Structure 1
Amino acid sequence: MTARRSLLLAALVAALQIGFLGWIIAGRAAVLRDGREVLLKVEPVDPRDLLRGDYVRLGYEISQIPGELVKNISDRSDRGGKMPIFVRIEPGTDGVWKLKAASLGDPLEPPPTADEVDIRGQVESWNVSETAGSFIRPSFGVERFYLPEGEGRQIETDMRERPFFVKVAVAADGTAQIKQFLDGDKVLYSEPLY
């Protein structure tokens, strides 16, 4: 009985682990498949991680949010640590989505219109200052894009010479995933669902 019970317990643990990994993969695929697409202009940072390979580290207009666009910055500025931030974007005349407003901790009210999208992120750092101007630096989980080995350096050089973009899929809860990496209007890489 003991060996049988141990075998059943091991099988249950393995099934739970496989189920958890499947849930993570299915969640990412659901965002890529069903999320609202937005186009963000890329600002280059650094393309290499010696332990993990080539990648492009990406920054966006929404990577530094002026304090005057954060609806409740004075209510939340005394809190330490990381907290959620919701950033509302809307399409610009050039097709690139632009920053409209943000809210710390709680989603923006009223909900976004059909022409707006709210992206959920995490505050990485902030500076609340009356003299120097307040700003918040969030991360949204779309700040790195891994590339085939040896391509990061050239893309970093190219990003300094001409505009690059990412097409991001945003789920209803604000979760974002990079869908495509573009050099101008040319798609360089598309993320597979699985």
Structure 2
Amino acid sequence: MAVLPTPVNRRVWLVLLVGAQLLFIVAVAAAGYATTAYGRTVQLRTAPVNPRDLLERDHLRLTYGITYLPLTLWQETSEPRRRQPVYVALRAQGSSYAAVRVYEQEPSALPPEQVILRGWVVGSSRRTLHLRYGLERYYAPENQAKALNKKGPHALLVHVSIAPWGQARITKAEVL
């Protein structure tokens, strides 16, 4: 025989459900702030691709100097697969960072001047590895996206904070 839920039980479940949703929202926001606070900031050269979306909100769609990498940087014996997570070792070269190696598994030890950025394989050819990092869209304040988009290729320097647990976040974009 089934027991029907009482109004008190429904209320308890409703409070638990709403509490879980609020906890999730707070955790997502805290993760973003923690990435900025505890992450290591690197600078990546980029170029804007498209300044507007369908909703007419100001944003930049970005392509980085580390989006298309030579396949010679791939450190594994197996071929890269589409949608495969990868770990890109970056090292400072001048005012920005450049890729020096691409790994299938996160390396356990790196030189202190290098940092790991997690990405995913979009595709590969005989010579090129196409990657994405989840950093390809930057919402610019107010109408700044139009001004930033008018610059030439690789005319922007994007500051990215990379947390020790692998999460990355754009903190600032500036015109070179």
In the superposition, the TM-score normalised over structure 2's length comes to 0.89
Cα gap change, 1:62/1:29 in structure 2, threshold over 3 Å: closer, same or farther? same
Q: Give the distance between the partners of 2:153 and 2:99, measured in 1 at CA.
A: 24
RMSD: 1.9
Aligned counterpart in structure 1 of residue 137 of structure 2, from 144, 147, 158: 144
Deviation by residue 1:27-73 (Cα, 9 ceiling, x = unmatched)? 1111111100111111221111022611111111111111110111x
Report if the CA contact (8 A) 1:89-1:98 is conserved.
Answer: yes
Cα gap change, 1:169/1:161 in structure 2, threshold over 3 Å: closer, same or farther? closer
Aligned counterpart in structure 1 of residue 70 of structure 2, from 66, 69, 80: 66
Aligned to 1:187: none
Select the structure of larger CA radius of gyration.
2
SS in 1 for 2:112: coil
Aligned to 2:167: 175
Q: Give the distance between the partners of 2:153 and 2:64, measured in 1 at CA.
A: 16
Report if the CA contact (8 A) 2:49-2:61 is conserved.
Answer: yes
The 5-angstrom pairing of residues 42-191 of structure 1 reads: 42-51=46-55, 53-72=57-76, 74-77=77-80, 79=81, 81-92=82-93, 94-104=94-104, 106-108=105-107, 111-127=109-125, 129=126, 133=127, 135-157=128-150, 159-160=151-152, 163-184=155-176
SS in 2 for 1:15: helix
SS in 2 for 1:7: helix
Report if the CA contact (8 A) 1:120-1:173 is conserved.
Answer: no
Q: Give the distance between the partners of 2:153 and 2:79, measured in 1 at CA.
A: 39
Cα gap change, 1:99/1:173 in structure 2, threshold over 3 Å: closer, same or farther? same
In the superposition, the TM-score normalised over structure 1's length comes to 0.81
- Tell me how far 1:163 sits from its aligned partner: 2.4
Aligned counterpart in structure 1 of residue 22 of structure 2, from 18, 22, 28: 18
Report if the CA contact (8 A) 1:164-1:183 is conserved.
Answer: yes
Structure 2 unaligned blocks of 5 or more: none
Structure 1 unaligned blocks of 5 or more: 185-194
More helix per residue = 1
Q: Give the distance between the partners of 1:148 and 1:180, measured in 2 at CA.
A: 10
Query: How many percent identity over aligned positions?
Result: 25
